Structures are given as C-alpha cells and as structure tokens.
Amino acid sequence: MWDRCQENDWKSHQLHCITPKDRLLRVLNLLTTSMREAQKQWDSATVVRLGMQCMIDLKYCRFLDQNVQDNAENALFEFLARSYSRQNQWAMAMQFYDRAIVVNDRMKDFTRKGRCLYGKAQMQMSLGRYDDAKIVYQAVDDIGRESGDFELYGKASLGLSRVANKSGNVEKAMELAYEAKKAAGLLLDNQWGQNRLEVEAVILIIELSDIQATDFDDTLIEKALLLGAAVDADPREGGSLHSLQAMELQGRRQMFMGQHQDSAKTFAQLLVQAKQSDYRQVPDVSKMVTRVTQYLKILVDLGVVDVRV
C-alpha cells in the first residue's frame, strides 16, 4: 500500500488514491453489472449517480484498446440518455444521445447510431420540436432502408407518422402507421421486437381512426390486446402500458357502440390492473386512470350502469 500513496489510513487511501487500473475496472463493473441491474429496475436515479462516477473515472484515464474505450463510452452515454428520458429530463437525454452518436460514427456502428437517433427524435417530440424530430426520424429511416434493418425502418415510420399527425395530415400519418405495421411483419428472427413494433403500430392506427364509426375494424383492438399482453409480459418490457392502452381503446369503442355494461366492465378491469401492476411510466398511468374514471362517471351519471366509482 505504501508505495502507492502516503495515506496512513486504508479507507482514506481507497477514497483518494485509487489507481488508473482500479478506475477502469470500476467502470467495467458499473457498466456490466450495477448500472445494468439498476436500469432493469427502472431505478434511473441510481443509473445517473453511477454514470457520473463512470464519467469521472473516464476523465482521468482511458483504456489502451480504442475499441474497448469506444464501447464503454457508448454504453455509458446510452445508459444516461435512457435514464434522463425516464425522468422526463429530455434536454439532458438529448445531450447524451448526441454524445453516443459521435461515438457510433467513430465506430462506424450505424445500427446503434440509428437507435440513438431514434431516441433523440423521441426527446425532440417530447419537447415539441416536431420539425427537428422529422429530420432525425428521416435519418433513421435512411439507415433502416440502407442496412435492411426493418426494426429501425418501422420505428422511423412510427415517428414520421406521429409528426404527420401533429401537422394535421392524418392521411399521411395513417399511411406511415400501416408501413410500420408492415415492417413489423418482416422481423422474422425477433419475435419480441416484432410484437412491440406491431402493437405500437396497431395502437397508433386505432388512435388515428374514427373509433366511433360503424365500419371501424374491431379486429384491430383484439390484435392490440393480444400483442400488448405478450409484450408487457416480457421481462425486458415489464411495466409498459401497451395492455392498458389497448383496454382503454376497447372500453371507448364499447361505450360509443352502446355496449355500456361491457364498457364499464373493461374500464373497471383497467383500473384494477393499473393499481395491482408495477407500471413504470407513473405520470402516464395517472393520466390514463383519470380519463377512465371520468368515462365511468359519465356512464353512471347517464344511468346506464350502476357501478359507483
């Protein structure tokens, strides 16, 4: 110990005199174990705290192998970007997506670049920067087409569909949503990715449709319910809202079609499921519960159901 520092207290030595090798080992440990586990638990605060430690360590030392250095930086920046986005700190998340994109370019890893670009565009949408998001989604679309990555292409189509809807072009938005659904069907070697992309496309198609129309395709809601359950049951997606979104759409459709008892039952089941399950997007769940509670109150006030909320 003494040839490494002049500290006469071991704890103080550990705190102040960590060697470059120790720092790099700590970076690898945080990225491969601690931060990964925290990310799985959606513990964004812990991910950010550990990520800041990695930032400090990488500031003072570097891996000799540039490829290892690049992979460490890329993983770190993606961890931080996702964690900040989960905390609704979209501007901060964009900064780390940009830093990850720089590393992706250096590594010539265009698939990872496409994923980071998509994340960046999502943050721009959250910030209301729709024109900027459209440009970035288009870049993701280009990467997906050129590389034959149907998941990237499908995600880009979803993003461009939402941009088109924001600008009032519902017809174009619907066309792009169906394009995303088509792309999902081509993900033959990735069942989970296929289900996730398809359920998002189907839910978007339903939202863009006239759910009150007599000729509305009810099989879309059935498809959303099945896919939503499959995706949300996967450990990689635990805590997402696809099932609840599909249930809300089903209840609204039943209500508009005069199936009031069925609608009330669907809404009640949604409220029970929302309370019993560990959903991660707490603000989104709260908004949904508020909407559904209002739907039930309308049905009660109209006297068509005898359920009390």
pLDDT in tens, 66-102: 999 999 999 999 999 999 998 999 999 999 999 999 9
Q: How confident is the model at residue 11 (pLDDT cuts 50, 70, 90)?
A: low
What percentage of the chain exceeds 90 in pLDDT? Answer: 71
CA distances for 170 relative to 152, 154, 207, 208, 271, angstroms: 22, 18, 10, 7, 31
- Three-state secondary structure along 175-218? HHHHHHHHHHCCCCCCHHHHHHHHHHHHHHHHHHCCCCCCCCCC
pLDDT at 6: 47
pLDDT band of residue 169 (cuts 50, 70, 90) is very high
For residue 238, how many C-alpha atoms fall within 13 Å in the half-sphere facing its CB?
8
Single-letter code of the amino acid located at 85: S
Average model confidence (pLDDT) across the chain: 89
Q: CA 3: distance to chain centroid?
A: 49
Q: What is the CATH number of domain 111-203?
A: 1.25.40.10
Our CA dihedral for 165, 244, 254, 227, rounded to 10 degrees, sits at 80
pTM summary value: 0.86
At residue 191 the predicted structure's pLDDT band, cuts being 50, 70 and 90, is confident
| Residue 13: per-residue pLDDT | 54
Give CA 261 to chain center in angstroms. Answer: 34
| Closest by Cα among 21, 20, 1, 23 to 11 | 1
Contact 24, 57 (CB under 8 A): yes
Domains 1-108 and 111-203 alike in fold: yes
Read off the pLDDT of residues 256-285 as tens digits, 9 standing for 90 and up.
Answer: 999 999 999 999 999 998 887 666 566 788
Each residue's pLDDT tens digit, 111-137: 999 999 999 999 999 999 999 999 999
- Taking domain 1-108, whether its CATH number is 1.25.40 is answered by yes
pLDDT-wise least confident of 19-23, 35-39, 170-174, 200-204: 19-23
Q: In which band, very low, low, confident or very high, does the pLDDT at 172 lie, cut at 50, 70 and 90?
A: very high
pLDDT confidence band for 2 (50 / 70 / 90): very low
Question: Domain extents for the chain?
Answer: 1-108, 111-203, 240-309
Q: What is the pLDDT of residue 7?
A: 44
Judge whether residue 235 has pLDDT over 90: no
Q: For residue 111, what are the CA distances in angstroms to 132, 182, 187?
A: 21, 20, 15
Residue 275, pLDDT score:
83
Would you place residue 51 in the very low, low, confident or very high pLDDT band (cuts 50, 70, 90)?
very high
Q: Residue 1's pLDDT is what?
A: 31
Question: Could you tell me the maximum CA-CA distance found in the chain, to the nearest angstrom?
Answer: 83
